[in-house]
Amino acid sequence: MVRLPVSSFGGLASLLLSSSVDAFYVPGYSIKTYKNGESIPLMVNKAYSDSTQLQYAYYDLPFVCPPSDHPKSVGGLLSGKNVPLNLGEILRGDRIRTSDIELVMNKEMGCKALCTQELNANDVRRTKEMIHDIYVTEWIVDNLPGATSFVSADKTRKYYASGFKLGYSEPSPSTGQTHYYLNNHHTIVIRYRKAPGKAGDRGENIVLGFEVYPKSIGSDSRRDADGCPVDLQHVERGLELYIGPNRTTEAAPRYGDGALRQTERRSDDENESGTLTVPYTYSVYFVEDNNIEWSHRWDLYFVNQEDGARIHWLAIVNSLIICGMLTAIVMIIFARTVNSDIKGYKDTLESKSRGKRVLKESPAGLLDQGGDGLDADLSDTEEALEDVTGWKLLHTDVFRAPKHGYLLAPLVGSGMQLLFMAMGLVLLSALGFLNPSFRGGFISVGVGLFIFGSVFSGYFSARVFKSFDGKDYRKNAMVTALLFPGLMFGLVFMINLFVWAQASSTAIPFGSLVLIVVLWLCFQVPLVYAGAYYGFVKAGGWQHPTKATAIPRQLPNHAWYSKSVQAVLLAGLIPFAVIFIELLFVFQSLWQNKSGFYYMFGFLAVVSMILVVTIAEVTVVTIYIQLCSENYHWWWQSFFVGGGSAVWIFAYSVWYYMFKLHITGFVSSLLFFVYTFIACCVYGLLTGTIGFLSAYAFVRRIYSAIKVD
């Protein structure tokens, strides 16, 4: 059982009155023990950068040691063999394979040669580009990503950053030209301790940490017969990515004897036909660490993020204040305005009925005699009828079926499907089931929840469709099953073509695309039909408290703020303010710090609950104002108002791209905007459905409270 940091559940703990939450470790990732002398497999995954969205499989890089295909002593694996991946790992760009690096428990190696790689001019150019984009490499040992170790500014805490750099660059002090150096030696440090229980009594150990310290060592450094540098601690200069003109060289020329001027020539003076020889070596050390429990071994990856807990609490307080103000407004509307409107309307109906009874029971000729009592009653009745204004006048139009209801019903159904998926993911993550040790688990479980949620999609879509007097539920189910998933698949397939052209591991393999289509057509579509049948035939549509007349009411002129576009933008600004601070952390995790992990799901769960309440209240207030303006076209309006904050999120994404990110390249920018658009569509459908159902419940409630003769 893995215990994630207590701070990750701080927000949830405030509601559950719990000081800590233990996260359940995912089946298949239980504690692995190693005996002394037992081989530990080291896997290589990919190279990625925070400044670009293109990832590359490690063995697809031209400057790394290719797999030798030699048998490994661990489980009969071959070097370079692909490790089976779940769907989430594939979709996130993982390409895990076994490496030639040998790790044996408690067997240290001061230095061992791995391979010697020849780079041509194109390889050198690409390597420089990746170093310039600050690409880092991910290796994996015992399901832990290789980490770069850091110390906090006050030197009191140590923390990890997943991955390690491919190389580094330095400007020349004399010319200012940038020189690029490739890291070709890696010092591997495995932190371990004695295994608990009987396994420890048998001399078995567990892995607690995996640190990698890369170093650039020039080929001119003195090496022994095995190709290892004689002195790893004192390296004069690194391995510069430079091929001298008109010659083949193993590294950049040594400084001195005029070579300094040669190495500082412009890159376009390099020899296009030459090669650069890169010797790769590595060292392995084991450090026993009894201060860390196996269940806490992921904590160091999160220490550098704990300082953000105060900001998360600030986000919750900000959200609670906004939600509290809205709650007060809604309570006033219900407790005073709506109740007084209903009471006044009932009094008016009673006056109208009393006037009719007086006219019916009065003796013949009384009107001709000018009876003062009767005139007074009729006058009071007419005045009372004139006081009936606003939403009370719309009882014969408010439940009139909207235009294009055949599209609104499938959108509401898809929104319920996404709501089910989002609630499941946030809850499982907050409870610790979906933690970083379950690689790709968030996406894999999300896909599973989305498929299973198709039942809810068909059910709610069919019920809304029948409430709109729909007839053919099969056609509605087909639209529900194909509309939103089809749009998403089309966008992903389109962007995938561009990424394929870049030979990036970010591209979804063709086989995975086929699997997604199979899940969509063979599993989701039947589940949508099953839910639609039950919702349309068994449950039926919702019964409205009033019936629409044959002739629709003419709409009066409305104030500028109650018009559709203005109302959606103004109302959407409030939910955006609720999630703004938490949204900043999510964006940083997705786009700026891909080597880290977003784990504050406890806070996210609390903010999400506040967001749901806020959207419901904002939609109710907006629709009430619209009905008071005698505008009965509220069906689509409630959906758009609920999802209006998606517009602000996309606008914020554009600002974030322009001023916070440093993404270069057309494909990376296209990836950012397409995936952002998809995320905003998902969010808009989800929140729009919440707004629609909240408004519908509110409208049914107030019109059920009045009786119409």
Name the least confident of 93-97, 432-436, 571-575, 688-692: 432-436
Match 């719990």 to its residue by tokens.
Answer: 18
Q: In the structure, what pLDDT confidence band is assigned to residue 16 with cuts at 50, 70 and 90?
A: very low
- Which of 594, 491, 436 lies closest to 93, judged by CA? 594
pLDDT of residue 386: 46
Name the least confident of 50-59, 382-391, 504-513, 696-705: 382-391
Residue 646 Cα distances to 106, 117, 571, angstroms: 54, 50, 11
Predicted TM-score (pTM) of this structure: 0.85
Cα-based angle 183, 141, 207 (whole degrees, multiple of 5): 120
* Pairing state between β 158-162 and 33-35: unpaired
Average pLDDT for 218-231: 86
Average pLDDT for 101-112: 93
Cα-based angle 140, 141, 145 (whole degrees, multiple of 5): 40
Report residue 114: phi and psi, to 5°. -105, -50
d(Cα 488, Cα 485) in Å, to the nearest integer? 5
For 372-422, the pLDDT digits (tens) are 544 544 444 444 444 456 677 887 888 999 999 999 999 999 999 999 999
More confident residue, 127 or 708: 127
Average pLDDT for 303-311: 64
Plot region of 607 (φ>0 → left; ψ -120 to 50 → alpha; else → beta): alpha
Q: Does the pLDDT of residue 466 top 50, yes or no?
A: yes
For the chain, the average pLDDT equals 82
Angle between helices 666-704 and 601-628 (to 10 degrees): 50
Q: In the structure, what pLDDT confidence band is assigned to residue 63 with cuts at 50, 70 and 90?
A: very high
